[in-house]
Amino acid sequence: MIPEQPENTSLFEIAQVFLKLGTIAFGGPAAHIALMEEEFVRRRNWLTHQEFLDRLGAANLIPGPSSTEMAIHIGYARRGWKGLFVAGVCFILPAAIIVSLIAAAYVRYGSFPQIEGLLYGIKPVVVAIVAQAFWKLTKSAVKSVVLFAIGVLAGVLYAFNINTIGILVLAAFLATGPLLFKVHHHSFSFSTLGLGQLSFRTAAAAGVVAVTNGARFSLLRLFGTFLKIGAALFGSGYVLLAFLRADFVLRLRWLTEKQLLDAISVGQFTPGPVFTTATFIGYVIAGVPGAIVSTVGIFLPGFFLVAASGPIVRNVRRYPIAAAAFDGVNVASLALMGVVAIQLGKAALVDPLTAVIAAITLVILLRTRLNPAWTIAGGAVLGVVKSFF
């Protein structure tokens, strides 16, 4: 097992790698996590598979964008608070800038740049990246028949749209079941695992904002609304859509239904975190200041929640029950990732050419150490070339 060696990583190196990932990470959280596994486990040896899985499990247990929180976790593991800040900001910044530029064009012209050809070639590459990361991480996460069964159950429940957090909690409970029978009641408590402190901090962060009713605009209200969403939202982009519609279309009436759907679309087809949808909405409502306060608002809770949970994740393997719970959460998280890969495949592999692109990419990734950025670039070129013919 390769230990974490924070003193060997400069802040410049952390900034450089996360700026790169924030620029090339198309495809949503599952694809982002796959790229991080390739970069930080296989290529740089910053984390072991187990350390990576533990942080993935922790990111899935707190509200906010899981892939961004993974970036923050990794930065914290390498350089503490400074690394936490640098990694998170550098992962978010490229997407925020790209989305702001698209929003500026949208406000001026009322439409998007034509990028269908570009996405045609990128999507099957993303499917292959997710598939290879899922395969590699599964070999570390599935340590027993029981964990395999838990993973299968989690995947089935997720496929039937059962609540994500409920699935993760169930997986943790099932994984700790054998140990719980061996532990006396007085020897097991949330404080033993360090979870009491985490749950208290999470609740405090989730309750930090109380946005007043009314449609009058202010940057403070815009910031507060996104801060509330970032502190309370679990789940996918579809859950984000529900939160945004409830606040910005129905309650505040700052957006139309069409503008909201356009904002979600931008978050889906640009690289980096899907939560940069907030950047687009902020720009549409209030220009550059609105984009800035919206971006800061929706991502800020994640920094505090990772800071609260980071020390716990580092020490969780010292306690058998906590370690078993994390094993259950890890295998369930991977099961969710597997289901997402299947769903992405259905949307991306639309004809024989896309299937061939995905298959070739998967072979390259499994048999070589080529940086996935090159496969994404290759897919984009193929997509653009096809669009001309």
Residue 198 has pLDDT above 50, yes or no: no
**Residue-level pLDDT at 186:** 46
Other Cβ atoms within 10 Å of 54 Cβ, number: 22
State the Cα–Cα distance between residues 260 and 284, nearest whole angstrom.
10
pLDDT band at 216 (very low <50, low <70, confident <90, very high): confident
pLDDT band at 115 (very low <50, low <70, confident <90, very high): low
Tokens of 388: 């001309």
Residue 84 has pLDDT above 90, yes or no: yes
**Residue-level pLDDT at 62:** 79
State the Cα–Cα distance between residues 327 and 174, nearest whole angstrom.
10
**Residue-level pLDDT at 90:** 96
pLDDT band at 199 (very low <50, low <70, confident <90, very high): very low
**141-170 residues labelled b (16+ CB within 10 A) or e (exposed):** bbeeebbeebbebbbebbeeeeebeebbbb
CA 116-122-123 angle, 5° bins: 85
Higher pLDDT, 61 or 107: 107
**Residue-level pLDDT at 226:** 94
Q: What is the pLDDT of residues 231-290, one digit of tens each?
A: 877 655 555 766 788 789 888 889 887 788 677 767 766 888 888 989 999 999 999 999
For the segment 347-354, the average pLDDT, to the nearest whole number, is 86
**Residue-level pLDDT at 294:** 96
**Residue-level pLDDT at 36:** 93
Q: Are 43 and 209 in contact (CB under 8 A)?
A: no
For the segment 168-177, the average pLDDT, to the nearest whole number, is 86
Residue 364 has pLDDT above 70, yes or no: yes
Q: Are 118 and 44 in contact (CB under 8 A)?
A: no
Residue 13 has pLDDT above 90, yes or no: yes
Percent of the chain with pLDDT over 90: 27
CA 244-254-242 angle, 5° bins: 15
Residue 336 has pLDDT above 60, yes or no: yes
Q: Residues with Cβ < 8 Å from 149, sequence gap 6 or more?
A: none
Burial of 212 (0-12, 13-18, 19+ CB in 10 A): exposed
State the Cα–Cα distance between residues 359 and 107, nearest whole angstrom.
39
Higher pLDDT, 235 or 334: 334
pTM of the predicted model as reported, rounded to 2 decimal places:
0.65
For the segment 54-64, the average pLDDT, to the nearest whole number, is 81
Q: How far is CA 322 from CA 52, 179, 210, 272, 339, in A?
A: 16, 10, 34, 31, 26
Minimal CA–CA distance to 9: which of 42, 45, 53? 45
**Residue-level pLDDT at 295:** 96
